[in-house]
Structure 1
Amino acid sequence: MTDQVHIHTHGRAGHISLNRPKALHALTLDMCHAISAALGAWAGDDAINAILLDHSEGRGFCAGGDINLLRHSALTDDGASGRAFFHDEYQLNHRMFEYEKPIVAFMDGITMGGGVGIAMPCKYRVATENTRFAMPETGIGLFPDVGGGWHLSRLGGRLGQFLALTGARLDGAECLWAGIATHYLPSDKLAEAKARISENPERVAGILSELAITPPEARIEGNADLIQKHFASDSYEEILASLEAEANDAGGEWAARELATLHTKSPQTCKVALRQLATSAALGNFAENMAMEYRIASRVLTRPDFAEGVRAVIVDKTNDPKWDPATPEGVSEELLDSIFAPLPADQEWKPL
Structure 2
Amino acid sequence: MTDDAEVLVGRSGRLGILTLNRPRAINALTHGMVRAVTDALNHWRGDDSVLTIAIVGAGERGLCAGGDVVSLYRDATEGDGSAAAEFWRDEYRMNALIARYSKPIVAIQDGLVLGGGIGISAHASHRVVTERSRIGFPEVTIGFVPDVGASWLLSRAPGQVGSRLGLTAESIGAADAIYVGFSDHFVPSDQISALLMALETEDPDSAIAALAQHPGEAPLAAQTPAIDQAFGLDTVGEILAALREAGADDLADGIQAKSPLALAVTRESLRRARDFGDLEEALVNEFRVSTHALAAPDFAEGVRAQLVDKDRNPQWTPASLADVTADAVARFFAEPAAGDLTIPDFAPSKETA
Give the TM bin, normalised by the shorter chain: over 0.9
Corresponding residue for 1:101?
A: 103
Match of 2:164 in 1: 162
Alpha-carbon contact 1:234-1:278 (below 8 Å) kept: no
How much does 1:208 deviate? 0.8
**Superposed counterparts of 1:125-204, under 5 Å:** 125-200=127-202, 203-204=203-204
Cross-structure match for 2:342: 350
Query: 1: CA distance between counterparts of 2:172 and 2:272?
Result: 24
Identity value in percent = 36
**1:269 Cα deviation after fit:** 0.7
| Conserved 8 A contact 1:25-1:63 | yes
1:72 deviation in Å? 0.3
**Partners in 1 of 2:311 and 2:58 — Cα distance?**
32
The equivalent of 1:68 in structure 2 is 70
Counting only pairs closer than 5 Å after superposition, residues 3-42 of structure 1 correspond to structure 2 as 3-42=5-44
Q: Give how far 1:347 is off.
A: 1.9
Distance of aligned partners of 1:234 and 1:51 in 2 relative to their CA distance in 1, 3 Å threshold: farther
Q: How does 1:1-352 map to 2 (within 5 A)?
A: 3-200=5-202, 203-246=203-246, 252=247, 255-344=248-337, 347-352=339-344
Q: How many residues align?
A: 342
Code of the residue aligned with 1:66 in structure 2: it is D
1:224-270 deviation line (CA, Å, top 9, x unaligned): 22211111123112111211222xxxxx2xx1111010111011011
Distance 2:294 2:103 in 1: 34
Q: Which runs of 5+ in 1 are unaligned?
A: 247-251
Question: For 1:110 and 1:173, how far apart are their aligned partners in 2?
Answer: 15
- TM-score (normalised: structure 2): 0.94
Specify the code of the residue in structure 1 equivalent to 2:335: P
Q: C-alpha distance in 1, partners of 2:195/2:72?
A: 36
Q: Is the 8 A contact 2:153 2:181 kept in 1?
A: no
What's the TM-score, normalizing by structure 1? Answer: 0.94
Aligned-partner Cα distance in 1 for 2:25–2:336: 33
Q: Which moved more, 1:160-169 or 1:176-185?
A: 176-185
Q: Mean alpha-carbon deviation: is it higher for 89-98 or for 104-113?
A: 89-98
1:90-110 per-position Cα deviation (integer Å, ceiling 9, x unaligned): 111111111111100000110
* C-alpha displacement of 1:41: 0.3
Cα drift, residue 179 of structure 1: 2.8
3-state SS, counterpart of residue 242 of structure 1: helix
Q: Which amino acid aligns with 2:260?
A: P
Stretch moving more, 93-102 or 170-179: 170-179
Paired residue type of 1:40: N
Any idea what the Cα deviations from partners look like across 1:284-311, whole Å, max 9, x if unmatched?
1222111111111111011100000011
Give deviations 1:38-74, integer Å, cap 9, x for gaps. 0000011111111000012121110000101100000
Q: Are the equivalent residues in 2 in contact too, given 1:287–1:350 (CA < 8 A)?
A: no
Contact kept in structure 2, 1:234 and 1:275, CA below 8 Å:
no
Moved more, 237-246 or 161-170: 237-246
Give 3-state SS (helix, strand or coil) of 2:120's partner. helix
Q: Which moved more, 1:58-67 or 1:30-39?
A: 58-67
Q: Alpha-carbon deviations, 1:126-178, whole Å to 9, x = none?
A: 00011000101000000100110111111112111100000111011221232
Inter-partner Cα distance in structure 2 for 1:289 and 1:297: 12
SS at match of 2:19: strand
Distance 2:25 2:279 in 1: 29
CA RMSD of aligned residues (A): 1.3
Cα distance in 1 for partners of 2:34, 2:339 equals: 20
One-letter identity of the residue aligned with 2:172: L
Rounded to whole Å, the distance in 2 between the matches of 1:54 and 1:9 is 13
